[in-house]
């Protein structure tokens, strides 16, 4: 009887061991993986909830920064407008056989442009002085072309003097008001 009991005990232990190896261990491993996935999903849900809770304030901050950027962009005078205007003035002078020796924007106006907010009702203007060398006839044609330009707002000064050397060149200076943004590459 002891022998049968020992055999039953051994067979029972083997069956429990087989059950443990074949069923419980894989089940336990699957449960561990599932619990880890649940924990990961829960942390992602918590993170998503935090982001969702912060989203309105982030949108307000983004809108506020966008408005501030637009405001700052509007307050800055268009450096490219000035540079494009200068390039246009030089090219037009070259087409009229004139040589621009100096373009002199008003420094005070350049500095004050940073404090002025441009708008449709308050456009930005700058006074420019051009110093030329060339002939009187070419200068007259250039001024006529300049007066037809969309940025031109009127002559403020003009001076013509003969160059001391033996050439037939004249030194000419013209000052005028220009509308910033009134010149574009395709105008």
The pLDDT of residue 185 is 46
CATH code for position 111:
3.30.70.60
* Same domain (yes/no): 175, 148: yes
Mean pLDDT of 41-59: 90
pLDDT reported for residue 44: 93
Could you tell me if 48 and 97 lie in one domain? no
Of the chain, the end-to-end C-alpha distance in Å amounts to 115
Q: Which residue has the tokens 């000419």?
A: 172
Q: Which of 110, 97, 84 is nearest to 172 (CA)?
A: 97
Q: 158 in helix, strand or coil?
A: strand
* Domain housing 98: 79-179
Per the structure, the count of domains in the chain is 2
Q: Can you list the positions of beta strands (E) in the chain?
A: 99-105, 125-134, 152-162, 170-179
Q: 120: helix, coil or strand?
A: coil
Residue partners of 151: CB distance under 8 A and separation at least 6: 85, 178, 179, 180, 182, 183
Residue 97 phi/psi, 5-degree rounding, is: 55, 35
* CA–CA separation, 25 and 21 (whole Å): 6
Tokens matching residue 65? 């920064």
- On whether both 125 and 56 belong to a single domain, the answer is no
Model pTM above 0.75: no
Of 43, 59, 75, the position where a domain reaches its end is 75
- Decide: 100 and 131 in contact? Cβ < 8 Å: yes
Ranking 67-76, 117-126, 173-182 by mean pLDDT, the lowest is: 67-76
pLDDT in tens, 110-129: 777 666 666 656 677 888 89
């Amino acid at each position: 009887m002891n022998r049968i009991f020992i055999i039953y005990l051994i067979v029972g232990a083997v069956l429990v061991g087989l059950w443990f190896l074949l069923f419980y261990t894989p089940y336990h491993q699957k449960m561990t993986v599932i619990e880890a996935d649940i924990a990961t999903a829960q942390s992602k849900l918590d993170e998503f909830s935090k982001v969702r809770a912060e989203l309105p304030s982030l949108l307000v901050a983004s809108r506020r920064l966008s408005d501030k950027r637009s405001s700052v962009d509007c307050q800055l005078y268009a450096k490219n407008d000035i540079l494009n205007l200068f390039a246009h003035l030089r090219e037009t002078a070259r087409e009229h056989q004139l040589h621009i020796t100096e373009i002199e924007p008003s420094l005070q106006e350049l500095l004050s442009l940073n404090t002025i907010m441009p708008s449709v009702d308050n456009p930005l203007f700058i006074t420019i002085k051009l110093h030329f060398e060339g002939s009187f006839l070419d200068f007259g044609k250039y001024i006529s072309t300049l007066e037809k330009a969309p940025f031109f707002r009127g002559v403020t000064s003009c001076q013509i003097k003969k160059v001391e050397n033996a050439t037939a060149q004249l030194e000419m200076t013209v000052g005028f008001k220009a509308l910033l943004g009134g010149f574009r590459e395709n105008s």
